[in-house]
Amino acid sequence: MQRFATALALAVLAVGLLPPGQAADPTPTGPNLPQVKWELDRLNQEPFKLIKATPDPRGTLVRFVVEFTRPPRPSEQQDWERHNGAVVFRFLDEDGIIIRSVQPSWEGEFVPKKGARMAILLPMPDERTLRRTRSVVVE
């Protein structure tokens, strides 16, 4: 599982370096690994700007650094403070069926102003889910 999760997480690095608004279709390397499309557009929409994505060496977590492009609205700030974030990662199978939704956590102090940065931490799901995953969508 570690090798598979690492390959999938490494694919995020390529996506994080794309221009804003572009989804990627990275193909992890290795035997029997599915092609996964990462749709990270939500991390490049107001009030966010995706700075980088970094998987941990074990492949169990991906760390997305985002920057606020404007101060969050009160409703957005409430989402962060009460619901541990304003985004959710959805893992979809080949038919577009959501097989797992993952609520990320965040790292760093929440500073609601333009230019402030924080990290969104995505724990990778179990190997069975990863093997069935064909796309990951951030909402």
The distance of Cα 55 from the centroid of its chain, to the nearest Å, equals: 10
Task: Provide block-wise average pLDDT over 10 residues at a time, the chain (139 residues).
Answer: 52 46 38 77 93 89 94 84 81 97 90 93 93 95
Task: Tell me what pLDDT residue 100 has.
Answer: 97
Q: Which amino acid makes up residue 60?
A: T
Helix (H) or strand (E) holding 50: strand 48-55
Cis, peptide link before residue 47, omega less than 30° from 0? yes
Domain boundaries, the chain: 2-138
Task: Tell me what pLDDT residue 9 has.
Answer: 54
Sign of CA dihedral 19, 22, 23, 27: negative
pTM tops 0.95, yes or no: no
